Structure 1
Amino acid sequence: MIRTATPDDIPVIHALVRELAAYEKEPQEAKATQEQLREALFGERPAAYAHIAADDTTGEAVGFALWFLNFSTWRGVHGIYLEDLYVRPGARGGGHGKALLRELARICGERGYQRLEWSVLNWNRPAIDFYEALGARPQDEWTVYRLTDGALAALGSGAA
């Protein structure tokens, strides 16, 4: 069962984010607080959206997708950027990840969005195989760059 997240889901979303960070071998990078997630998802001007994958029998949250809108100047329309997709290890293979992606693809179709994009770590072969089995293709000609912490502050202050 896939459902739109509610404010009551903030604790479980926070826990799932932390589990994902540990899986990706970067637990120290998961610094977002429950309050920050609440504001981002349900504040006055939501910046992101989330869906919960729940066990069909127990209703327990077993995974989530957190996403936001991007925009293609080439296509002239919004798309979805999937920031996080995570299914707890004990629930993997049960169709939850595919159901979450199917819901995002449905939203794209319903709203006229023409892209659903995300990043995957190069070492995460199970995820890569899963995505490619769905028809997703890597964008090998692009390299992701990121500014954070001191480098971001230095550039913003004119020091760089």
Structure 2
Amino acid sequence: MSIIIRPATPDDVGTIMGFVRELATFEKAPEQVTSTEATMHTALFGAHPAAEAIIAELDGDVVGMAVFYHNFSTWTGVRGIWLDDLYVTPAARGSGAGRALLSHLAGIAVDRGCARFEWWVLDWNERAIEFYRKVGAEPMDEWTAQRMSGDALLRLAGRDPAGHD
């Protein structure tokens, strides 16, 4: 088996969105995907890209992807890489494609002078957690993720959630 990791191209956007939808279904939240091929194209390949993506090919077939972007730590004073999504098709799991994607991202982080390479994993996804431990990732159990969106975000921003500013 031959695994190749390459940068995503605009032609990969449909495949990336398919993987995003498959991942959301696996994570029991398919209704939360509001991104489209058009928004993903702009995010990855527009005038001011918000993120980057890499693709895993196994014997010429696209079997996985990783979408990532830079974050910043005031504690280290340098940027890091945040892995937003890592996905490998069920048939290709165990092939080494996931490890190859993570290894490639680690190389990007090192080459770009990043201090950290970070991501979230759902606490019930034991297979992924076990995989991440095998590659050397450390849990950050003392941190609790926080999120604000929808009406709460609008209210904190001083905007009327009903759209009547």
Same fold (TM over 0.5): yes
Q: Is residue 52 of structure 2 the alignment partner of residue 49 of structure 1? A: yes
Alignment of 1:129-140 (within 5 A): 129-140=130-141
The within-5 A match list for 1:74-153 is 74-153=75-154
Q: Partners in 2 of 1:140 and 1:147 — Cα distance?
A: 20
**Residue-pair matches, total:** 158
Structure 1 position 78, deviation (Å): 0.7
SS of residue paired to 1:157: coil
Structure 1: runs of 5 or more not aligned: none
Question: TM (normalized to structure 1)?
Answer: 0.96
Inter-partner Cα distance in structure 1 for 2:33 and 2:160: 28
Output the CA distance in 1 between the equivalents of 2:61 and 2:28: 25
Instruction: State the superposition RMSD in angstroms.
Output: 1.2
**SS, match of residue 11 in structure 1:** helix
- Which amino acid is the alignment partner of residue 13 of structure 1? I
Cα gap change, 1:158 to 1:10, in 2 (>3 Å): closer
- The structure 1 segments of at least 4 consecutive aligned residues displaced by more than 4 Å after TM superposition are none
Which of 18, 40, 51 is the equivalent residue of 2:43? 40
Paired with 1:53 and 1:140, the residues of 2 have a C-alpha distance of 30
- Cα deviation digits, residues 22-77 of structure 1 (max 9, x gap): 0101011111000000000000000100000111x2x2211100001000111111
In 2, Cα distance between equivalents of 1:158 and 1:36: 24
Q: How much has 1:159 moved relative to structure 2?
A: 6.3
Percent of residue pairs bearing the same amino acid type: 51
Does the residue aligned with 1:117 lie in a helix, a strand or coil?
strand
Report SS of the residue matched to 2:87: strand
TM-score by length of structure 2 reads: 0.93
